[in-house]
A and B are shown apart, each in its own frame.
Chain A
Amino acid sequence: MGEYKLLLANVDKPDSEKLETYRKSGGYERLRKALFEMKPEEIVEEVKKSGLRGRGGAGFPTGLKWSFVPKTDEPKYLVCNADEGEPGTFKDRVIIEKDPHLLLEGIAISAYAIGAHEAFIYIRGEYEYGAQVLERAIKEAEEAGILGPNAMGSGYDIKITVHRGAGAYVCGEETALLNSLEGRRGHPRIRPPFPASKGLYQHPTVINNVETLATVPFIVERGGDWYASLGTEKSKGTKLFSISGHVNKPGVYELELGTPFEELIYEIAGGIREGRKLKAVIPGGSSTPMLTADEIKGVKLDYESLQAAGSMLGSGAVIVMDETTCIVKAVYRMAKFYAHESCGQCTPCREGTRWMVQILSRIVNGKGRMEDLDVLLDMKNIMGGNCLCPLGDAALGPLISGITKFRDEFVEHIKTGRCPLGG
């Protein structure tokens, strides 16, 4: 357990984004192997065996997702989700900017595995530099005959297009992403139909996170069994963690799944700044319920352990808050984020997030009422599971965990009209 450099093996090399550098470490040989030595079904099988689960947040088994694509003649698409909008998450950016060819290789192999000839990278609009890096990399690879028509002389065509978003967190949700990719408002779609049967342009489409796709070349190279030997019994492989907040060494670290939470915070990320005490941690991006300092004791960083602890692994974005943090304000800030990012289509999410902000803003400004806490907690009954897409549920994560775990702090704000921390 602990740090394990698989995805991040190249990123510190000079000129790591260049094709030449990438090829020196065996780059694109996995694609060659896939195209020349493996049938698409075999790749899907290996990925299934590897136990790889989606790294975008939901953790859905990747091989299983791929196997839902119908074996028909219609066009199929692969979409790489590089929207990276979940607050606290900045891991995909490292791969995109520092090892773009790894991602492209992963995309090419995955496209081949599901029978797609066209793939899109939906990258958040703010990552314009990243988009340029990717476009340059695609050009390099096309000029080298690796991508494009007749990729590597295999007879298989693979076209990859970079598509920039334009400032909408909800477009990270896969069906909103598809609408955005079709030139529409980023409104999530009703499911069913699922993208695997009717996705982009109503054709079968697989959407995977950057990290997920970047892992595929290693599975092709070393086999599913090898990958499955990393991590824990149920959470296999490595995972990128973006750690931010009050730690000494924030950044992106690749860990074997199952690494103790405390090891990440206190050893790898150098512990809490200025010797302060830990107050709370958001383990997997702002939507995952926060855990108190006590609650992370002995918890391991993997899907099951975090679920057992009452939260989620999510996108692996660990936000560390020390004792000086006002939880009320933190919750208010996150609520504002969700209210700002709600697409506005469905009633519970649109109205619920706005109301949360209104109430929390009153509490923060010393005008709270005790009934407010009941109303806020009741949001769970109205919104929870009832929205059109998971954004509404995401908004509940910090709110409900914040109020239940730090109720005293809320009460104190309401009773005294002031923040006990002076915030």
Chain B
Amino acid sequence: MGMVKVTIDGITVEVPENATILQAAMKAGVDIPYFCYHPYLKPAGLCRMCLVEVEGMPKLAPACVTQVRDGMVVRTNTERVKKVREGIVEFQLLHHPLDCPICDQAGECYLQDITFRYGRATSRFVDEKELYPTKFYGPLIVHEQSRCILCKRCVRFCTEVLNGADWNVYWRAAHSLIGSYESDKVANYFTCNLVEVCPVGAITSRLYRYKTRIWKLEFTRSVCEHCEMGCSLDLGVRENQLFKIKHRMADPSPWICDKGYYAFDYVNHAERILYPLARQENKMVSVEVEDAVSSIADKLKNYGEGEVAFILSPSLCLEDAAAVSSMAKAVKGLVDYRVYGEDYLPVKGNVSDIEDVESAKAVLVVGGDVAVSHPVLALSILKAKNAGAKVGVLSAHDIFLGERVDVFSLLPAGSEEPLIKELLDGNVDAIPDLSDEERSCLKDMLSGELLLVAGVRASSALRAAIYSRSKEKGWKYLFLDRGCNAKGLYSAGAYSEGVGEILNRVKEGKVKALVVAGVDLFNTYPNGSLVKEALESAEFLVVMDLFFHDTAMYSDFFLPITSFAEDGGSVVDLFWRVRRRNPAMQPKGLSRPVRDWLALIGEAMGADVDSQGQVAETGWDPLQAKAELLEVKGNTVALVEHAFYRSARYASWCSRFSEVAESPCAYISEDDAKALGVSDGDKVLVSGKGGKFEFVAKVREGQPKGSIVIDAGFDRFPVTLLLNGSWVAPVELRKA
């Protein structure tokens, strides 16, 4: 790329020849005000705030869309520019409610800042303001049309990044309205980006509404804990309360998802347990730290080899994992983090960056709903598509990505894996419900450069098949893991034979003492009755967590731990990079990180607990997988998956976020719906091994007959009772 010289207000800078005046000005350190420009959206030239004078051009030029020329001379400090800026600001404010004192954007509002800097002191407007009522779009966002400056950043985000969504501009002229079509909900997982891109207070977070003022918050850089993307976040804290999360760095992507942005208020939740508890005569009572530590140490000391086990959340930080591993070694115990019952271990993919995904020629996603497990990755895949890649989604469940790509089939829940295996063997016809166009596209994808993305549901057997096929064909592959730090836990050696095996041994009495940290097994492990039996059989149970959840009910000791906001651990992301958090607030009450508790306990036991987590890149070869492809038969087969709004950590204690998913749904086929006489929104009953559950039916186009998908993750709704170690099980479906 050639470089050219541009002079702005007397400052000469060198910029690439395709740069805009605005970019050159940024380099020159000259402030050009703007509203509609956004560094990660296509320049639109709508707001006209950035008009500047260019020597030799009769009209003022919009700096955001005007390309530089060598030798160009730009002036931003002339009387003409000043007048126009005043005019544009005045125009923007004509019908603005001027309600800064109650606006959550105040303090970080472009309109406020630019008015102060470039506006005129008084207004000439004496007419009636046209104002609009406030609109709430579900529990997460609120739109104040009156404050909207129609920069269309939000709509452009939906068109350019989400490839279309239920958010747009309607009507025209001064009566253009922004919003969702028809419903009062915004049905996608990325609405927080609307809040983030809106330069004014038109779209704000309902979580933050009227809570505090931005300038009262102190921000600390951290890393999201909801998935392996490890999005960089800034945590806004005031008086040791976490009020707001912002995404200020395009790391790894300029966008984040609603989990990362909204699912944090559990940190401040009143139900958090902040002091150690011990069971005394069937009641949990608060005890001193020293007493808890010494009692636990005394207990653990007495168990022999293989009699103690540790089950960890895959979202614990690397240092915690190292401490647990080291403790497990000391007591010759077992440890595992695969609380979702998965039988695979992390494998390093052969793409090393999100840019590799975005520049892929073809991407095929199998075995999971990426937009739920790794939301931002779904946006990168769309970016690849928009750059010309062919994209396919073959999965038993998908809400977001499938309908936006070239090839999409919802596979029957019970035979998802064998079908994908057949496809990998070259049998494109095995995939049901494809149009001819899709079929030939899929064929092309398989015969060229391909990136295969294995979703979190893909078993080790399927992963082995993907791995070997990819090696053979020279494809790229990427394996997704559950939790935000599975790769870190694996690196720290925090795994053995699997959580199922540990639970079985507890049930059989072989493992006597169990330590569960950071997870409610009833919510995660796909066999609720096994969890129950195991917890009942355990001789000694220590639970370390934030909340007194169902697993904690069985505990002998409960130790309060810190949330991600109070701790400075590291996590290993999807691309095997270590990402470090900084503590944004003081630990609440007597909570402390898992590793600190273990250090105390270790000290009391006379064992040395090491918490220096090291990252070992890989070691496990997926070809070692012994398991078979998952196949489940039955008249009706159910896939149980956490609903997006219940898939965040501690979702039950995230007030507004979890509210978005009001009640558990069952996705059923049109055929089944017809046969049962149910229509969308009716109640259906799903019964199986461990019980009977009521769902709201969602009749879904493309859903295969005899195959249903049901939501997990709802409070007091233990659908894991239906399962037997995998997330798929035969069930019966009836009209309620």
Binding site for B on A (CB under 8 A): 168, 185, 190, 192, 339-348, 350-355, 358-359, 362, 369, 371, 375, 378, 381-382, 385-388
Contacts and interface: CB of A to CB of B under 8 A. Distances in A.
22 contacts: A190-B65, A344-B150, A346-B46, A346-B47, A347-B46, A347-B47, A347-B92, A348-B87, A348-B88, A350-B150, A351-B95, A354-B173, A355-B91, A355-B127, A358-B127, A358-B128, A362-B127, A375-B124, A378-B87, A381-B83, A382-B84, A386-B60
Interface in B44-59: 44-49, 51, 58-59
Contacts, number: 95
B114 to A, nearest CB: 12
Contacts of A386: 48, 51, 59-60, 84
A351 B176 CA distance: 11
A246 B28 CA distance: 59
Nearest to A342: B173
B227 interface: no
B211 interface: no
Contacts of B51: 386
Nearest to A385: B59
B172 interface: yes
Nearest to B93: A351
B37 to A, nearest CB: 12
Contacts of A387: 48
A342 B175 CA distance: 10
Contact of A351 (B94, B126, B128): B94
Nearest to A355: B94
Interface string B105-133: 00000000000000000001111100000
Contacts of A340: 173
> Chain B contact residues: over half helix, strand or loop, or mixed?
loop
B174 interface: yes
Nearest to A358: B127
Residue of B44, B88, B91, B126 with highest tally of chain A CB at under 10 A: B91
A343 B172 contact: yes
Contact of B46 (A339, A354, A369, A388): A388
Given A190-B65, A339-B174, A353-B173, A346 B48 contact: yes
Interface string B450-469: 00000000000000000000
Contacts of A352: 91
Nearest to A357: B174
A348 B48 contact: yes
B628 to A, nearest CB: 50
A388 B58 CA distance: 15
Given A190-B45, A386-B60, A388-B48, A344 B124 contact: no
Contacts of A378: 87
Contacts of A168: 172
B686 interface: no
Please report whether the interface of chain A is mostly helix, strand, loop or mixed according to DSSP: helix
Contact of B173 (A341, A348, A371): A341
A378 B86 CA distance: 12
Nearest to A186: B172
Contacts of A362: 127
A283 B84 CA distance: 30
A382 B87 CA distance: 5
Interface of B: 43-49, 51, 58-60, 62, 65, 67, 83-84, 87-88, 90-92, 94-95, 124-128, 149-150, 152, 169, 171-176
B46 A385 contact: no
Nearest to B171: A344
A350 B91 CA distance: 9
A343 B45 CA distance: 14
Identify the 3 closest CB pairs spanning chains A and B, nearest first: A382-B87, A351-B91, A354-B174
Contact of B49 (A341, A343, A347, A385): A347
B178 to A, nearest CB: 11
Query: Quick one: which of A168, A340, A375, A382 has the most chain B CB within 10 A?
Result: A382
Given A168-B172, A344-B172, A350-B150, A382 B127 contact: no
Contacts of A388: 45-46, 48
B127 A359 contact: yes
A44 to B, nearest CB: 28
Contacts of B83: 381-382
B263 to A, nearest CB: 35
B418 to A, nearest CB: 42
A32 B43 CA distance: 46
B126 A343 contact: no
Contacts of A192: 67
A185 to B, nearest CB: 7
A353 B174 contact: yes
A389 to B, nearest CB: 10
A308 to B, nearest CB: 19
Contact of B174 (A342, A359, A371, A385): A342
A379 to B, nearest CB: 9
Contact of A339 (B84, B87, B173): B173
Given A344-B150, A347-B88, A385 B124 contact: no
Contacts of A381: 83-84, 87
Contacts of B152: 345
A46 B277 CA distance: 95
A344 B145 CA distance: 14
B126 to A, nearest CB: 7
Contacts of B172: 168, 185, 342-344
Nearest to A379: B87
A126 B51 CA distance: 37
Contacts of A344: 150, 169, 171-176
Contacts of A353: 173-174
Contacts of B127: 355, 358-359, 362
Contacts of B91: 347-348, 351-352, 355, 382
